[in-house]
C-alpha cells in the first residue's frame, strides 16, 4: 500500500487546493483532518469555531465523495496521529497548506516537521495566501501578492480509489473539549456552499452598499462582504475570491456604485495577507509588544473589574455595550466597531491587549490570528509605527447610530430612553428613569471611569513613550519588517524629518 497524506487544516475545500491536486496526481491519497484537543483548549478557541469547522467538514466530506475520495478525521496530537498512521502503513509524503497560526499550532508544526525528518517523510507545504515564509523585508511584498492572485486556480482533482488505512474516530463533543457553553445563536454557518452563496450575493448585489455602508454597525452586516469566516477556515480560497472580484470589476455593465464598492473590498483582500504576514514574520507578536519600547506600559496595572465589565457589556457606554451584545448573538461585528472596542479597552479602561484579544478571539467567528493580534496591537498603540487612533464611543454613536436604532436593538432596556439621553443615559434624573422604565446601575451600568479624563490620561502615557527618543529610534526597523508601503493600509504615522522611517518605499 503506497499513499500520500493530505492534511486539511484551515483550508476546508477541494477547489483551488494545490496539496490535494498534487497528491492526487501522484497516486492514492488519504484525506485527513486532525482534531487536536490541545489546540481547542487554548484561550483563543471557542465553541462557535468548532461548530463552524464541523459544518465545513460536512461540506468537505461531500465534495471529496463527489470526486472519488473520503475524508477521515482523527483525534489527538498531530504527531501521535501521524505516528499511528505510519505504523499502520507507512506513507510516502505529507502535503498541506502553510499555516500562520497561534503559538500552539506553530509549535505543533515544528514538532511535525521534526517527526517527518526523523521518519524520512517529506512534508510539502503550499502557499494559499499572499504571505511569504522567511520574508525579511517588506519592500516589493505586493508584487508577490499580485503574482499569487493572478495564477490560475487549481481545479478539483479526481481521486483514485485507494486502499488506505482507516483512522476515523468518534468526534468529541465541545463539552468534552472543555469549551465554554456559549455559542452565538445567529452566527454564520460553515461550509463551502454557504461561502459561495455569500460571495455571490456580495458580488452581484450587496457590494453596492460597501462604500459608505461598512462603518455603521446598522448597515455593515449587509454592506460588508461577510466573507471573513469562509476565508479564515478556508472554505473559499483567497485567490478565487480575488479573481471573482476582478471579473466583476472588469464587467463594463457593472454599475458605478458596485465597482467602487468592489475596489474598496479588493484593498481589504490585500490587507488580509498584509496583516497575516506580520505574525508569520514575527510569531512573538501574539504575546508581546511589537515595539518592545512599550513593554511595561499596561502590564502592571491590569484592572480585572474593567475587563469583566467589558466582557459582560456593562461599561455603561451604550454603543460599546450594544456591540458586545451583538457579538454574543452573532459572532461578528464590523471593523470600526472592533477598533472602537479595543480602543475603549486600551485607553479609558487601560487594559492590556492580550486578555482583551483572547476574549475577542472567542467572540469572532472569523478569528484569524495574524489579522487579530496585529490589529489588537495597532489599536492599542503598541506597534510604534501607527498613528495613535482613539475612538470615542460617544462620538462613534453620534456618527454611526445617530437615532439610536442600533443601541436600542441590542440593549432593549434603553428602548424608551429619549434620543437626547441615549448617549449618556446614566445622567438621566430619577423621575425620567422611572418614566422610561430604566434603573441606572441596574438595567444599565454607570461608566466605570470618566471617559474624557481617563482617555486624556491614557493618551498622555502613550504619547510620552512615543516621543521618548529611545522608543522613536526603534521605529525604523519595525517599519522595515512590518510596515505597509501603502500608508492608507494601516494608517502609518507620518515620518518626522530626518527619520529613517521616511525611507519606507511606497509601492502599493
Ligand X SMILES: Cc1cc2nc3c(=O)[nH]c(=O)nc-3n(C[C@H](O)[C@H](O)[C@H](O)COP(=O)(O)OP(=O)(O)OC[C@H]3O[C@@H](n4cnc5c(N)ncnc54)[C@H](O)[C@@H]3O)c2cc1C
Site residues, ligand X (CB under 6 A): 214, 224-228, 231-232, 265, 268-269, 271-272, 275, 334-335, 338-339, 342, 364, 366-368, 371-372, 375-376, 379
Opening angle at CA 223, ends 222 and 228, nearest 5 = 80
Using the minimum distance from each CB to ligand X, give the nearer residue, 73 or 367: 367
Q: Is 475 helix (H, G, I), strand (E, B) or coil?
A: helix
Using the minimum distance from each CB to ligand X, give the nearer residue, 262 or 436: 262
Three cell numbers written together for 482: 512590518
Using the minimum distance from each CB to ligand X, give the nearer residue, 111 or 287: 287
Using the minimum distance from each CB to ligand X, give the nearer residue, 337 or 478: 337
Using the minimum distance from each CB to ligand X, give the nearer residue, 91 or 364: 364
Three cell numbers written together for 87: 505504523
* Residue 271 CB, nearest approach to ligand X (Å): 4
* Residue 337 CB, nearest approach to ligand X (Å): 8
Question: Diameter of the chain by CA atoms?
Answer: 81
Separation of alpha carbons 49 and 36, rounded Å: 13
* Residue 366 CB, nearest approach to ligand X (Å): 4
Separation of alpha carbons 7 and 13, rounded Å: 12
Three cell numbers written together for 60: 468537505
The secondary structure of 148-194, three-state, reads HHHCCCCCCCCCCCCCCCCCCCCCCCCCCCCCCCCCCCCCCCCCHHH
**Phi first, then psi: what are they for 35, rounded to 5°?**
-90, 115
* Residue 200 CB, nearest approach to ligand X (Å): 14
* 382-392: burial string, b at 16+ Cβ within 10 Å, e else: bbbbbebebbb
Quick one: DSSP state of residue 449?
S
* Residue 209 CB, nearest approach to ligand X (Å): 11
Provide the edge-to-edge strand list for the sheet that holds 123-126: 71-75, 29-35, 4-8, 93-97, 123-126
* Residue 253 CB, nearest approach to ligand X (Å): 23
Three cell numbers written together for 153: 486556480
Using the minimum distance from each CB to ligand X, give the nearer residue, 321 or 366: 366
- Evaluate whether 131 touches 499 at the Cβ level (below 8 Å): no
134 Rama sector, left if φ>0, alpha if ψ -120 to 50, beta otherwise = left
* Residue 62 CB, nearest approach to ligand X (Å): 24
123-126/29-35 β-pairing: unpaired
Using the minimum distance from each CB to ligand X, give the nearer residue, 116 or 371: 371
Quick one: DSSP state of residue 494?
P
* Residue 399 CB, nearest approach to ligand X (Å): 17
* Residue 221 CB, nearest approach to ligand X (Å): 8
- Evaluate whether 164 touches 4 at the Cβ level (below 8 Å): no
Using the minimum distance from each CB to ligand X, give the nearer residue, 4 or 362: 362
Using the minimum distance from each CB to ligand X, give the nearer residue, 55 or 490: 490
Amino acid at each position: 500500500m503506497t499513499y500520500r497524506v493530505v492534511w486539511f487544516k484551515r483550508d476546508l475545500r477541494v477547489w483551488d487546493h494545490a496539496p490535494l491536486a498534487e497528491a492526487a496526481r501522484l497516486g492514492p491519497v488519504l484525506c485527513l483532518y486532525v482534531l487536536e484537543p490541545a489546540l481547542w483548549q487554548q484561550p483563543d478557541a471557542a465553541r462557535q469555531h468548532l461548530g463552524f469547522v464541523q459544518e465545513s467538514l460536512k461540506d468537505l466530506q461531500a465534495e471529496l465523495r463527489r470526486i472519488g475520495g473520503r475524508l477521515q478525521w482523527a483525534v489527538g496530537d498531530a504527531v501521535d496521529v501521524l505516528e499511528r498512521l505510519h505504523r499502520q502503513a507507512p506513507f510516502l509524503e505529507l502535503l498541506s497548506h502553510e499555516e500562520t497560526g497561534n503559538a500552539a499550532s506553530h509549535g505543533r508544526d515544528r514538532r511535525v516537521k521534526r517527526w517527518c525528518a526523523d521518519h524520512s517523510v517529506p512534508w510539502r507545504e503550499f502557499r494559499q495566501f499572499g504571505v511569504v515564509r522567511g520574508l525579511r523585508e517588506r519592500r516589493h511584498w505586493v508584487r508577490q501578492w499580485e503574482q499569487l492572485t493572478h495564477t490560475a486556480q487549481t481545479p478539483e482533482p479526481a481521486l483514485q480509489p485507494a486502499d488506505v488505512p482507516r483512522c476515523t474516530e468518534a468526534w468529541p463533543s465541545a463539552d468534552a473539549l472543555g469549551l465554554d457553553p456559549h455559542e452565538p445563536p445567529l452566527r454564520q454557518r460553515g461550509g463551502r456552499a454557504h461561502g459561495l452563496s455569500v460571495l455571490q450575493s456580495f458580488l452581484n448585489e450587496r457590494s453596492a452598499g460597501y462604500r459608505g455602508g461598512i462603518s455603521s454597525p446598522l448597515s455593515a452586516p449587509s454592506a460588508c462582504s461577510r466573507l471573513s469566516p469562509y476565508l479564515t477556515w478556508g472554505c473559499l480560497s483567497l485567490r478565487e475570491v480575488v479573481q471573482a472580484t476582478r471579473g466583476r470589476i472588469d464587467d463594463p455593465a457593472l454599475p458605478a456604485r458596485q465597482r467602487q464598492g468592489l475596489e474598496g473590498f479588493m484593498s481589504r483582500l490585500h490587507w488580509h495577507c498584509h496583516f497575516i504576514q506580520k505574525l508569520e514574520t514575527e510569531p512573538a507578536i501574539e504575546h508581546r509588544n511589537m515595539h518592545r519600547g512599550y513593554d511595561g506600559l499596561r502590564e502592571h496595572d491590569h484592572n480585572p473589574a474593567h475587563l469583566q465589565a467589558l466582557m459582560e457589556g456593562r461599561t455603561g457606554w451604550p454603543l460599546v455595550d450594544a456591540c458586545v451584545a451583538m457579538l454574543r448573538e452573532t459572532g461578528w461585528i464590523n471593523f470600526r466597531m472592533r477598533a472602537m472596542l479595543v480602543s475603549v479597552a486600551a485607553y479609558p479602561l487601560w487594559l492590556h491587549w492580550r486578555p482583551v484579544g483572547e476574549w475577542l478571539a472567542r467572540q469572532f467567528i472569523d478569528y484569524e490570528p495574524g489579522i487579530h493580534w496585529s490589529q489588537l496591537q495597532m489599536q492599542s498603540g503598541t506597534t510604534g509605527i501607527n498613528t495613535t487612533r482613539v475612538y470615542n464611543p460617544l462620538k462613534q454613536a453620534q456618527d454611526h447610530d445617530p437615532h439610536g436604532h442600533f443601541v436600542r436593538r441590542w440593549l432593549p432596556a434603553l428602548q424608551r430612553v429619549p434620543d437626547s439621553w441615549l448617549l449618556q443615559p446614566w445622567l438621566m434624573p430619577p423621575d425620567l428613569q422611572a418614566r422610561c422604565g430604566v434603573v441606572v446601575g441596574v438595567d444599565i451600568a454607570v461608566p466605570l471611569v470618566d471617559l474624557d479624563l481617563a482617555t486624556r490620561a491614557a493618551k498622555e502615557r502613550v504619547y510620552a513613550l512615543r516621543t521618548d527618543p529611545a522608543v522613536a529610534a526603534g521605529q525604523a526597523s519595525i517599519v522595515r519588517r512590518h510596515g505597509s508601503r501603502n500608508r492608507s493600509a494601516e494608517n502609518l504615522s507620518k515620518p518626522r524629518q530626518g527619520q529613517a522611517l521616511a525611507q519606507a518605499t511606497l509601492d502599493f
